[in-house]
Structure 1
Amino acid sequence: MFTGIVQGVAQVARITDQPGLRSFTLSFPTGFAQGLEVGASVACDGVCLTVTRVGPGDQAEFDVMQQSLALTTLGALQEGSRLNVERAARDGAEIGGHPLSGHVDFTAQLASIRQPENNHVLRLAVPERWVRYVFAKGYIAVNGASLTVAECNRQEGWFEVWLIPETLRMTTFGEKGVGDRLNIEIERATQVFVDTVREALDERLGPLMPALEALLKGQGSSVDELAQPLPKRLS
């Protein structure tokens, strides 16, 4: 498990292709790899990877399967690429963000960037099947960083996050440009809640569900809005 608090930025030192997988050697910030052992987990741009070799110095190697390369942004990494990293949380560790599994759900395209004073606003386009799990004031993980959704538009399929200077300093977000893709992990509790409510409504209403969805759409709402966890609707 991870907390979504990025601990540093690593750089790809070497890439080696092997049958069925690709190996990455990452160079970490000084001290990051202290005590790191083979078999340990590290979140790399939000993707949970297993250490297959440690050293020399502050380096470690990871093997990534073809499926992970295809479903995440790791397949686009080159030597010299930089990525957010976090080591697995220890028992009793403070969770400054929210619990993450390191299992990326989809990649989102960076649609626009705004820079009001002392802020950096990213607007990310969300595939239709996933937008139901994104709520304003809710948690979401972007490239391994636990962030709060500032605004969400389900009809247009996007959400925004606001980044403070400290977040930009500790991550690679300041290096991203419009059109780049980022790894997204939705909050699991929200996914379970939304799916449970939708299934309950579908089971009870059956053939009336399309009529309810049409009615809510005409009022600028949706079944997904009804399924929003109550504490977040009140925040």
Structure 2
Amino acid sequence: MFTGIVEERGTITAKDDLVDAARLTVRGPTVTSDAAFGDSIAVNGVCLTVTDLTADGEFAVDVMAETLDRSSLGGLAVGSTVNLERAMRADGRFGGHIVQGHVDGVGTIVAINPAENWTVIRIALPTTLRRYVVEKGSITVDGVSLTVSAVGSDDDGPWFEVSLIPATLEHTNLGQAQVGRMVNLEADVIAKYVERLTGSDDE
């Protein structure tokens, strides 16, 4: 489990495309400082397993085809900046919200509006996730725990907005966000459990 509090921005240093998977090598000195083979590290919000470590702060992960299809990881290239977070320790401080590292869908940044003390980013939302996103609720965007500041829809479909403070812009790759960029989204798991328990899901 994760909390959506990004520990550092890592860099993709190698990408090997395999028949039905990809192997990524990521530089992340902070998250590898106490990492071991088999540990979980969230890369842009996707929980991945460490398969190799090097002495210079790099780790390797294998990404299967389903994960590539359901997330934006397939679009990463050498030099891409990614948000990194180690799995939460049982005795750790819970700074964000419950994040599983299981991406529910991919959104697209459709507008970026800088203000004096924050930046508002609007993200187009897959219709299947619309019911889980509420104003003042939690959502994970590329591994970053954020509060939804607005929700709505237009002719192109549903969207939501998040307001990013300077610290978030500086310490995560959302500070490099551009219109058109695809981002990984994970809805609050509590909403999904409530839906299931009340029998209001679509099944």
Quote the RMSD (CA, aligned, Å).
Answer: 1.6
1:39 and 2:52 are equivalent in the alignment: no
Tell me by how many angstroms 1:196 deviates. 4.0
1:4 and 2:4 are equivalent in the alignment: yes
Q: Percent identity?
A: 37
Aligned equivalent of 1:162: 163
Contact 1:133-1:194 within 8 A present in 2 as well: no
Contact 1:43-1:87 within 8 A present in 2 as well: yes
Aligned equivalent of 2:180: 179
1:107 and 2:113 are equivalent in the alignment: no
Q: Which runs of 5+ in 1 are unaligned?
A: 203-235
Contact 1:132-1:154 within 8 A present in 2 as well: no
| Higher percent of residues as strand | 2
Letter in 2 for 1:130: L
Alignment of structure 1 residues 145-156 onto 2, 5 Å: 145-153=144-152, 156=157
Question: In the comparison of the two structures, how many residue pairs are matched?
Answer: 200
Contact 2:12-2:77 within 8 A present in 1 as well: yes
Letter in 1 for 2:182: R
Tell me by how many angstroms 1:67 deviates. 1.1
Contact 2:11-2:79 within 8 A present in 1 as well: yes
Counterpart CA distance in 2 for 1:199 and 1:66 is: 31
| Higher percent of residues as helix | 1
Alignment of structure 1 residues 23-172 onto 2, 5 Å: 23-28=23-28, 30-153=29-152, 156-172=157-173
1:20 and 2:14 are equivalent in the alignment: no
Counterpart CA distance in 2 for 1:31 and 1:65 is: 25
Letter in 2 for 1:103: H
Query: After the TM superposition, which of the residue ranges 155-164 and 75-84 deviates more from structure 2?
Result: 155-164
Tell me by how many angstroms 1:179 deviates. 0.8
1:192 and 2:193 are equivalent in the alignment: yes
Counterpart CA distance in 1 for 2:78 and 2:55 is: 17
Counterpart CA distance in 2 for 1:66 and 1:79 is: 19
Letter in 2 for 1:36: A
In our comparison, the structure showing a higher alpha carbon Rg is 1
Counterpart CA distance in 2 for 1:106 and 1:54 is: 29
Counterpart CA distance in 1 for 2:21 and 2:58 is: 19
Counterpart CA distance in 2 for 1:42 and 1:169 is: 21
